[in-house]
Structure 1
Amino acid sequence: MQETTFKERLNQRPDTALLQREANRIRLSAMTMTHHSGVGHTGGDLSSADILATLYLGGVLNVDTARPAWPQRDRFMMSKGHCAGAFYSTLAARGFFPRAWLGRFMDPLSPLNGHPDRNKLPGIEANTGPLGHGLPIATGAALAARMRGETWRVFVLTGDGELQEGSNWEAAMTAHHYELDNLTVIVDRNRIQQGDFTEKTIRMDPLAAKWLAFGFSVLEIDGHNHEALLDAFSRLPFEKGKPSCIIANTIKGKGVSFAENQPAWHHGVPTVAQLEAAAAELNVELPL
């Protein structure tokens, strides 16, 4: 596989209507997996689906499913590893492993753990789940690329609640110090964490100002708008010599009315009737 730029891949990207359908399929797949296992993180799976679909199915990430360890691949870190349902569904949709494997989510000895494990599945760059670890790992990877003169890029998707972990800001200072403009942080800003709304737990706003103060170039967008996402990714890095931060404003539980903006659905488990209702709202047929 030859290395290509995002602008070159942009010419072959799917239209946004197709990306929306794929994102909704990821949503229902993740809910089906949570129903199967009896545990999961439905709300964050649903809020992050559009971001993941755009990265993997919209031509943003330069990866090779036939060679997951291809040295020149872009690196993606799923820092909010508890949203493994959406992540696994996206990797399967991209072709890293068969969709049929999704039916084994969290079964005994299944490679689809409750949190991503790079030793279990192709396409996973780092083991995540303990929140606040993804950005430090991504910063190290971006620094390694810089030191070796490599051109591949590093992306990390964080939850907003996990930004309460101080390790994120230590990594942010490091990324700014080394001028890592090959690093992009995407914040899934759905404003809900386990138990309550983020602003009732630990106030985070003004979030963009915090990233700016730490030396990042920042863009706020609608994290459910595929055109806005594609446009933002096409502009990277936003400023030469600065790491980039995309604050993707999202809705927890997006696309499923009974789950939207409901803290209880951070880790709610859908019933059969709720799965059927979600399928109807998402316009995706069951079984997947």
Structure 2
Amino acid sequence: MAERRRPDKGRGTSVRKGSTLRVEVDGPLMHAVLDGPETDNTLGHGTLRDLLALYESLRDRPEIRVVTLRGTGRSFCSGTEPVALPESPGGGLDGAVAAARLANQVCNAVSGTDAITLVRVQGAVTGFGLALMIACDLRLADDDAVFRLPELFVGRPPCWGGAVGRLLAEIGAPRTRELILLGERVEASTAERYGLVNRIGTRQQNDVLEALWTRRLLRAHPAGSRVAKARLRAYGQRGRPGHPAGSDAEILSAFSALAQYRETHGDPSRLPG
């Protein structure tokens, strides 16, 4: 992770080889950028670990009040790199569970920070990319954004990033069932209607709106903003079933069930349709 600072502002950190996360700090404002356009910002474990470290570090950086997140290139985030899935119910679960746990920890850190988080998305917002977006407080989508949770159609359980619980809280059970069970593409206008995003617009319109919202967020009283976010987070979690990110036991159960199905019926990603 490379963190850049403007003169007399910010704080430097080490750079992790293979990470595609860039960070810039300007006083109370932090910009986090997923910078892997050649892969449509498909995130590797190094970048996930850097995202986790970045958002967890905000606990000790109360001077950071607003964090923006975006991806370079044509897509915000196309998910994570593939992980090896177990071939039998009892074996090979460690790597898959560890990957799912890391994704969950990242999204928990994003949603749990006291700073206000503003995400800007475009192009593909797929799998973990959608989970990462829904963990943010405010969400702007360019009008070319397309949202999808394809896990059930590539032979994976839908447990990445704690998306299920957050989607249930944000858009309700019927819409969440559509996203997960059908795995269909959701266009930007539909996403706005569902409540997945706050606003949609052209890239130029969202440039203006992002700058406007950032200025307004920074004008609010710092203590008041933190209290407001804490209350919103508490109310949002009241109706959320289970742990927002899913426990290790739930993750393990999901992968074990998938392995059991594969042993009995074959690889679901190769089924017709």
Q: What band does the TM-score fall into relative to the shorter chain? A: 0.3 to 0.5
Give the number of the structure whose residues are more often helix, by fraction: 2
Give TM-score, length-normalised by structure 1: 0.31
Give the number of the structure whose residues are more often strand, by fraction: 2
Give TM-score, length-normalised by structure 2: 0.32
Greater RCO (CA < 8 Å, at least 6 residues apart): 1
